[in-house]
Amino acid sequence: MPDLYTFGETMALFLTHDTDSVVDAREYERSTAGAEGNVAVAVKRLGLTSHFYTHFGDDELGTAVLNDFLAEGVDVSAVKRVPEFTGTIIRNPGTTRGVELTYLRKGSAASTITPKEIDVSVLSKSRWVHTTGITCAISSTASDAVGFALDTARKLGVARSFDLNIRRKLWSLKKARSVLEPLAHDLDVLIGGEDEYAAVFSESDPRKALELAYGRGCAIAIMTKGAEPVRFIIHGEYGQMSPPQVHAVDPVGSGDAFTGGVIAGILGGLEPLQAIKQGTVSGALVASKFGDWAGLPFGTNGRTDPAVISSMSGGK
């Protein structure tokens, strides 16, 4: 049975290659992107097992993306092919201008996920369940599946994490708060950006927002803000940690790499502080390369090679 059970939408990513603008581009590189799938790959690369569930369209893009997961060794044996299309994202690298992206995902294959498709027999034997707010945004049935998976994990005593991950192109902040706030409780790890915590908990002070999360039963609450220090509360103790400083060429996907590094570290027996440090290294490495999976580190038993950690942390 897997170390990690996760599910959600993974898309075919088309990244402009010849210019930094989709408007002018004529050449694109295809890869794979999507929060939960990114985390599954990050955990697998660190030497653990990942089970990822989604729906792909019965189309060639679905086959291409599925093959990407197979090449990474992620367990996608339960993935379903459905009549709807495989979700797609088109964007520029963001090297000389801000990242602009276009989603093709309304009514996509993954939006047809429902609670009945969460395999409790696999979930119950997994060591960790990970979900995100993005899945809640793609459809009401997918949102119900997130709630079902988290509730089931709680009842079974399976460790669980939730990444707030608000995508404003998918829904309003008001709608996001109404759906995500009821889910953000009794978790082993809650992760989100400073703006996401503010939106969900209606609290703009970072420390107070983290304290609210802890008060709702989130044993570890982590708040990120790009290259700025990571704030967190671990079993009631507040702290901060500066991530490694790198030349960030593509920040998209770095948050998922951070999450994967934290989850893998905890599963690998690291103390929470060390797991967060490992997460910052994973995030920084991905931010330094183009693509959601490029730069994801490899490791053993959930732990990144110590030499990589040391080199990224200035030997500390």
pLDDT band at 226 (very low <50, low <70, confident <90, very high): confident
Q: Given this model, what pLDDT does residue 310 score? A: 79
Residue type, 13: L
Mean pLDDT (the chain) is: 94
Question: Which tens digit of pLDDT belongs to each residue from 51-64?
Answer: 999 999 999 999 99
Asked if pLDDT for residue 254 goes beyond 90, the answer is no
Which domains does the chain show, CATH number per domain?
Answer: 4-312 (3.40.1190.20)
pTM: 0.96
Cβ atoms 6, 259 nearer than 8 A = no
E strands present in the chain: 4-7, 11-16, 28-33, 50-53, 55-57, 80-82, 88-91, 101-104, 128-132, 159-163, 189-193, 220-224, 230-234, 237-241, 299-300, 303-304
pLDDT band at 288 (very low <50, low <70, confident <90, very high): confident
Residue 313: pLDDT band (50, 70, 90) is low
